[in-house]
Structure 1
Amino acid sequence: MYRFLLTPRWWGINVFVLLAIPFCIFMGSWQLSRFEARVDEHRDAKAEATAGKTEAPRPLADLLPVDKATSGRQATATGHYDRQLLVPDRELDGRRGYYVLTLLRVDGGKALPVVRGWLPGAADPAEAPAPPAGEVTVTGALQASETPGDNGVSAKGGLPAGQTAAISSASLVNLVPYDVYPAWITLNKGDAGMTAVPASAPADTGLDLKAFQNLGYTGEWFVFAGFVVFMWFRLLRREVEFLKDARLGLVPDAEAAGEPDYDSASSPVR
């Protein structure tokens, strides 16, 4: 038995090791559970998106407010198209272009933003098809209001009149004189020959950078646990070698070297 393990210095080292290893294992397991949860969310979101494309459309009021469960679901609304805006710098199939966004006045005048389609190139009001006149019924995937950073949404300002950087009620309410729903619809089929805009996944779901960060942290915590064990054995070996050298007279006196004075009772048992 190594009697020096009972000295105060080694008591401190041993207690630290006994606490550090379970803590590292716990933190690594917790980070792994977070990664697994995000994988499950990604799988559920894909299943819900598939189901949302095939299920019967539901009235807009039945799906509000938009959350992870209702985002991407098929919604329908009836009203009259009003003001039209362009959303520049939107990418589709690797090409840059813009959305054609038209506000649909429903429910006594409240407006629902409707993305009628996508066009390539720079945003040009002359190229954007005018919305149909009269009462229309729209059907498409329901989406939550965007915020800067979501799906590449830019926060830049200073856009020309008739354009908006984000499809957001907070932004649109400054451009139109009526209330706007905190949601929008992208039509299943592009209007007037435009390309339909596919629904995006809800925020904070799927295998994003955060998910892989959780996986990376998992590995780091388990490496820390292994490092603690490695250092403990290295210190133990160094201590044993020092004692052997001291007994053979190969090092200065222990007290002179600032090391504990190990007598025969505290030296390793042969």
Structure 2
Amino acid sequence: MSKKFFVNVLIFIAALTMVTLGFWQLSRHSDKKEINNTINDRILENPVNLADLRIDQQTESSLTNIEYRSVQATGLFKHSDSILVRNRPLNGSPGYWLLTPFDLGNGRVVIVNRGWLPIAAEDFRQTNSDQITIEGIIRKTQVASGLQREDSKEGKLASLGRVDLSRYQQQLEYEILPVFIQVINQDPPQSSNFPKMLSIPEFKEGQHLNYAVQWFIFATITIIGYPLVFFRNRRKKDKGFGQSDIPIDYL
């Protein structure tokens, strides 16, 4: 088989691969959009009472189905058992998240992400023991992934690398629910500016649509450009372009 045949096959495979990657990115864009719409719908729903969800009876897969659900709960903060989550910047300022156990009564306790603290407020503590009602969204526990470093499994930690409920549980003398609440409102309101409650997460489709367009452009250039170059070179060859009329013996 000629070299030209192999080149044509390679060009065809390259174009087909680019088109396939383009449709794959479109599929990812569609899937991401559907997931984001589902999450946004959960966030915008009217808050339900946390007790009605029976969190302690949920399976791992069912917890995924209620993540980001808007909930409300009434109870007491257990301030003495609060812990920080380090390396949590806000608008470019370094700081922490403040996690505090929230006693719901009847032996049930849920961890609440109360918001952001600046580095200077590392030793921030509250002693208010009044009963309050909070509103927020359900979040699942976080674990180290990839090259992330896990927290030490020994001793009592002053801070965590992420909201790892299993590690937090190790230094508490009572059971906590397998999810935490990111608080977005509380009644009565907190008496100080800190911790600063976190904004509701925004979910976007990312760059998948742009990547799809790029792959289709590359495929179009390959499909149209290669034949043009091929026939142009073929025509030049047929017309003898680039060949000298001077006999080689004369040179």
Which TM-score band (shorter chain)? 0.5 to 0.7
Which runs of structure 2 are paired with 1:130-209 in the superposition (5 Å)? Answer: 130-132=127-129, 138-148=134-144, 161-187=157-183, 188-189=185-186, 191-193=190-192, 194-198=194-198, 200-201=200-201, 205-207=203-205
Q: Which residue of 2 aligns with 1:27?
A: 21
Structure 1 distance, partners of 2:143, 2:160, is 12
Amino acid at match of 1:45: I
On the 8 A contact 1:100/1:119 being kept in 2, the answer is yes
- Of residues 221, 228, 245 in structure 2, which corresponds to 1:226? 221
| Identity %, equivalent residues | 16
Residue 59 of structure 1 is aligned with which of 51, 55, 80? 51
Distance 2:173 2:246 in 1: 88
After TM superposition, the structure 1 = structure 2 runs for residues 1-270 of structure 1, keeping only pairs within 5 Å, are 8-51=2-45, 54-59=46-51, 61-62=53-54, 64=58, 65-67=62-64, 69-76=66-73, 78=75, 81=78, 83-92=81-90, 95-105=93-103, 109=107, 111-125=109-123, 127-132=124-129, 138-148=134-144, 161-187=157-183, 188-189=185-186, 191-193=190-192, 194-198=194-198, 200-201=200-201, 205-207=203-205, 211-212=206-207, 215-216=210-211, 218-245=213-240
Per the alignment, in what secondary structure is the counterpart of residue 173 of structure 1?
helix
For the residues of structure 2 that align with 1:90 and 1:39, how far apart are their CA atoms?
A: 27
SS in 2 for 1:67: helix
Hey, what's the Cα distance between the residues in 1 that align with 2:98 and 2:237?
78
RMSD, matched Cα: 4.0
The structural deviation recorded for 1:74 is 1.4
TM-score normalised by structure 2 residue count: 0.68
8 Å contact kept, 2:98–2:195: no
> Matched residue of 1:167: which SS?
coil
**Contact 2:81 2:100 (8 Å CA) reproduced:** yes
The structural deviation recorded for 1:172 is 0.6
Count, aligned residues: 232
